[in-house]
Chains A and B, each alone.
Chain A
Amino acid sequence: MKIWGDTMFMWIILSIALFSIIYFFIKASFHSHVLKISFRNIFRIKRESFLMILGSMIGTAFIIGSLGMNDSFKNYIYKSVDLYFGEIDEVINSKVSINYNDIEPFIWELEKENLIDGVLPIFFKLYPVTKKGNIRGLKISELSQASLVGMDYTLISNFGENKVEVPTEFLKLKNNEAIITKRLAERLKVKEGEEIEIITGASPINILFPKRFKVVKIIDSKGIFNYRGIDANNGIGTVFINLAAARSITKIPSNNYYQILISNRGDYIKGNKLTEKVKNVYEKMKTKGEFIPVKDNQIKAIDRGGVSYIFLALSLFAIISGGVLIINMYSMLVSERKRELGVLRAIGFKRKDIRNVIFYESIFYTIFSIPFGIATGLLISRFTFSKVTSLFESLSSFENIIGEIPLIDSYYISPNSIIIGIAVGILLPLTITFWYSHSIGKINIVNAIKDLEEEKKKVKFEKYKYKIENGFAIVIFIIALFLK
């Protein structure tokens, strides 16, 4: 519903923008002489008109560009979350295992409140893993920390909004067989059919007699089939084994698990965030185990340093810059035509007619500038993005920085952002010129005809100018704050 709501919101904004234009054109058709002057003004001084279109275009490009950068960053976050968690939104975790009977009332309550669409109890532990033979060969450096996961794999098909088909290898896993993730296989230098060893305890017996599993499949997947624990950073990969084998290794009582994976209804990434509600139920029910909002945590971890706020601040900065640019362009245009506007007032044009002369002209400029603005914005943001990415990549060679700078690998802009860009690209110049043309309507006829400076208007503009400057100062301060 939320997704539908968001998309609808975008379309409503766009519809308002388009209807505004249509409305003003219908209105203008009743004043064809006003429309004629506005339209012809566009072709009057081509260089000036080109600058006007360029100004509006750059404003739109700024907005689209910053939205594109923002979307790319978000997309990176979402891809990262999707890679390690997929449908998993929260985890009830216990270091000493948790009885599923103790969790059930909580699950029932979540189902009753229609908050979730899947629950998956699993065995989860981190163990040193290596290729068979390395332990006896005392190749300690070949050991890698990996996540060991065991569960009833048939439950996966009913876990989450998008039902997944479970590969048959998972369903046919024998007690001595394992499926491992590709990255782990590469690290261990293991191929399908070879064996791995897992040290399941610190005692000499465990070290001398590690658990052996034959790798029946190496998978390169995401989500639940790439689950690596609650913070996604544990170990180099995952070893999937069957329920009986997991129970045998962990030696926990029947019906006990280490983790309960929960999938909320809808898609978190697309905006359906129910984590807070699930947490409230968890706290209300005084459920055992530790409640971990894994997706929330992962997003916060990636976005440490408030990178998304920097992009947001850049977007705001772009919108304000675009606005100021448009105001300056119109200010220039009006000051050049002041005498003419004064004459029109003298011969019978009302204030609203003068307003419309400028406003209709701005509609033409806006219509011309939007498609070019979007194309330029996309090109600029894509170009900037590639430059920033390569800069980050070069910085990532420094060990202490790699953890701090997200390596965003692909450019992305959502259709919603393009819709927003179009809507803002239309509404921003129209709103500004509507406001600006409103003040132009109050032009002093005598001063305009004599081309004298308007003292009152000048004071008003100065006042406005300070507001803009203050606005800029605040934006820069916010950016500086986040950069700090």
Chain B
Amino acid sequence: MIKTINLKKTYKNEGVEVHALKGINLEIKDGEMVSILGPSGSGKSTLLNCLSGIDKPTEGKVIIDNIDITTLKDDDLTTFRAKNMGFIFQFFNLIPVLNAVENVELPLLVLGYNEKEARGMAEEMLIEVGLKDRMKNFPNMLSGGEAQRVAIARALVTKPKIVWADEPTGALDTKTGISIMNLIRELNEKNNQTFVIVTHDPRITEYTRRILKMDSGILTEHENLG
């Protein structure tokens, strides 16, 4: 379970204090597929960054499975992230010098898996996202949809409890975006992993079971879609 208590984030932009999060309290249950919806600058990405531990909140707590990750030291937090979380970014953010399968096996190698085992798991994962024939392709040889599938495979290969997705379809055309969202929903249902998706596109929220709406650093609405 993910829980936040009075989560605040303030940063300075050209000397002016910006309150990106103004005391967020929320709970996300295990296996949920949640979307955080809001306009640009509403604080949704900041919330995702604080929840995932890649950014430090100014105040408040982020508790994941009874561990307050805001108190963890950097190395411990990194290990926690590697073991328990997967990331899907808007611009795929694959490592350009590694081919598809090498990109996918990277989180496993970081966790200490041996190369053979990691390679096997990465190949399986790529097959699962429909990229059996693209394993040896480097990112520049993949289409946007294929690159995002590799990124999804990389996020899921360690079988994390939580997957964070920041505008996962933002750089894709509508058709490809739909196929990616279908894949994400399919994987969520299959693996019972928690998915938290940040988006400004209301159409994306249709794939999730719960919507958290944000505006000006506060949660304005919770909507359960059943």
Chain A residues with CB under 8 Å of chain B are 32-33, 36-37, 40-41, 44, 339-340, 343-351, 353, 444-446, 449, 455
The one of B93, B110, B115 that contacts A343, using a Cβ cutoff of 8 Å? B93
Q: Which residues of A contact B102 (CB under 8 A)?
A: 36
B109 at the interface (CB under 8 A from A): yes
A41 to B98, CA, bound (A): 10
User: Whose C-beta in chain A lies nearest to the C-beta of B48?
Assistant: A446
Known: A44-B97, A340-B95. A348 touches B89 (CB 8 A): no
B79 at the interface (CB under 8 A from A): yes
- B: number of interface residues (CB 8 Å): 26
Whether A33 and B89, one on each chain, are in contact in the complex, defined by CB atoms closer than 8 angstroms, is no
The one of A350, A444, A449 that contacts B89, using a Cβ cutoff of 8 Å? A449
A329 to B109, CA, bound (A): 30
User: Whose C-beta in chain A lies nearest to the C-beta of B111?
Assistant: A348
The one of B12, B97, B107, B115 that contacts A348, using a Cβ cutoff of 8 Å? B107
Chain B residues with CB under 8 Å of chain A are 12, 49, 52, 54-55, 74-75, 78-79, 81-82, 87, 89, 93, 95-98, 102, 106-107, 109-111, 115, 154
A346 to B78, CA, bound (A): 8
A348 to B110, CA, bound (A): 6
A353 to B89, CA, bound (A): 21
Shortest CB distance B103–A (Å): 10
Q: Which residues of B contact A33 (CB under 8 A)?
A: 106, 109-110
Q: Which residues of A contact B95 (CB under 8 A)?
A: 37, 340, 343-344
A349 to B78, CA, bound (A): 7
Chain A contact residues: helix, strand, loop or mixed: helix
Whether A347 and B89, one on each chain, are in contact in the complex, defined by CB atoms closer than 8 angstroms, is no
Whether B110 and A347, one on each chain, are in contact in the complex, defined by CB atoms closer than 8 angstroms, is yes
Whether B54 and A32, one on each chain, are in contact in the complex, defined by CB atoms closer than 8 angstroms, is no
Whether A351 and B87, one on each chain, are in contact in the complex, defined by CB atoms closer than 8 angstroms, is no
A446 to B102, CA, bound (A): 24
Q: Which residues of B contact A346 (CB under 8 A)?
A: 52, 54, 81, 87
Q: Which residues of A contact B154 (CB under 8 A)?
A: 347
Shortest CB distance B58–A (Å): 14
Whether A446 and B74, one on each chain, are in contact in the complex, defined by CB atoms closer than 8 angstroms, is no
Q: Which 5 A-B pairs have the closest CB atoms?
A: A348-B82, A40-B97, A348-B110, A33-B109, A445-B54
A444 to B110, CA, bound (A): 19
A446 to B45, CA, bound (A): 10
A343 to B95, CA, bound (A): 8
Whether A347 and B97, one on each chain, are in contact in the complex, defined by CB atoms closer than 8 angstroms, is no
Q: Which of B82, B102, B110 has the most CB of A within 10 A?
A: B110
Whether A345 and B106, one on each chain, are in contact in the complex, defined by CB atoms closer than 8 angstroms, is no
